Each structure stands twice: as C-alpha cells, then as structure tokens.
Amino acid sequence: MSPNYIRSFSEGCLRPPTVIGQFHTLFFGSIRMFFLGVLGFAVYGNEALHFSCDPDKREVNLFCYNQFRPITPQVFWALQLVIVLVPGAFFHLCAACKSIKQEDILQKSSYTGFYIFSVFLRIVLEVVAFWLQIQLFGFKVNAIYMCDVGALEKKFNVTRCMVPEHFEKTIFLIAMYTFTVITVILCVAEIFEISCRRLGFLKNQ
C-alpha cells in the first residue's frame, strides 16, 4: 500500500470535513458505543436468567421471555450503530479510493452534495431506528409483564412475569432515545455548517 494512498485514506476517512462532524464522530464513536458496550451489558446481560413467571418453570420463562423480547435491546442498538455508520463509511471509502482531499469536500459541489447525502441518509436511518425502538420497547419497562401462554396448551392463558431491574432499564431506554436525538441534531447542524461554509458565512478549515 503506497504512502499516498495511506495519506489520502487518513484525510478522507478518519477526519470529517466539518467541526460538527468531528464532534459527532467523537460523540458517536466514544460516548455512545462506550455507554452501550459497558452499561448495556451491565443492565441487560443477565436479564433472561432473572426473568421469572408464575409458575416458575423453565419452559414458561423461556416462552414468555421470547415473547417479551422479540429482539434483545443490545442486539437492536448494535445493529443500529452499525447501519448508521454505513453511509459515512461508504463516502469515506470512496473518498480514499478517489484520493479526495478534505478541503475538496467543501469546495467542489459534487463532493459536497455526496457528503450531504450521506449525512442526510444517516438522519433517515436514525429516525427509522427511533421509530422501531418505540414499537419494540416503548418508553417504559413495567415491573410486571402479562404473558399469553395459550400456545403452550396450559390450563391458563395469561400469566404474570417479573421483569428484573425494570427501573434501570427504563433509564437506559430514555438514554438511548436521547443519544439518537442528539445524533440527529448533530447531523442537521453539520448540514447547516456545510451550507454556511459554501455560502461564505464561515471560513473553511
């Protein structure tokens, strides 16, 4: 791999062309991933083991937990982070392959439009993930979950299940919603910064 290619890759891939974009990378890559990786495991790591229903039998607990969690929150948020990274990664990969310099992104209309499109696509993906999170998890985790166990051919159709650490999970849900909102705001602000630089209201870096 040639030194010129490495230099173009570092300029085009590792450093966004705007101040807000660089802050977004720090926020997204450090704070958000750390919060999910460390605290997410602490809150949700043993949830399945501590999820219990009445009667407390393994098949009932497993059936109701799968009903309660069609997808585990850690997996959903990890997929969200990966998918949201795709537009930016694709742009920076193209920038590296075509040896596009950082200053070219804000000076050439075609590159600027391509970059803005990648940021806008990130906004769309974040909004879709926000909506899906509402549909899957809501805004609050209740202490009691009423499970429909009719498919198990039991004498009863509905049973009560205890959700462990429900208050901590509610706080974590609100935090993840907040991170999504902050990310969307940063993306919108980055588009605004790019527009101001193109119009000459701000000096290019």
> What would the pLDDT profile of 41-52 be if each residue is shown by its tens digit?
778 878 888 888
Mean pLDDT of the chain: 80
13 with 41: CB under 8 angstroms?
A: no
Tell me the pLDDT tens digit for each residue of 102-120.
777 777 788 888 888 989 9
Do the domain assignments include residue 95?
yes
- Establish if 26 belongs to a structural domain: yes
How many domains is the chain partitioned into structurally?
1
Which has the closest alpha carbon to 47: 67, 69, 26, 31? 69
In a domain? residue 83: yes
Q: In this structure, what are the phi and psi dihedrals at residue 53, rounded to the nearest 5 degrees?
A: -125, 175
Domain for residue 90, yes or no?
yes
In which band, very low, low, confident or very high, does the pLDDT at 3 lie, cut at 50, 70 and 90?
very low
Containing structural domain, residue 194: 3-9+18-50+66-138+167-204
Assigned domain for 152 exists: no
Q: Is the predicted pLDDT of residue 11 greater than 70, yes or no? A: no
Residue 110: give its domain's CATH number. 1.20.1440.80
Q: Give the Cα separation of 193 and 178 in Å (integer).
A: 22
Q: What digits encode the pLDDT tens for the residues 148-205?
A: 887 776 666 788 889 988 898 999 899 889 989 988 998 899 888 888 877 766 665 5
Residue 24 domain-assigned? yes
- Neighbour tally for 74: CB within 10 Å: 16
| pLDDT the model gives residue 130 | 94
Q: CA 14, CA 8: separation in Å to the nearest integer?
A: 10
Q: Provide mean pLDDT across the span 121-131.
A: 93
Identify which of 11-25, 52-66, 104-118 has the greatest average pLDDT. 52-66
Q: Is residue 156 part of a domain?
A: no
Is 114 inside a domain boundary?
yes
Per-residue pLDDT, averaged over 57-75, amounts to 87
Write the single-letter amino acid at 147: C
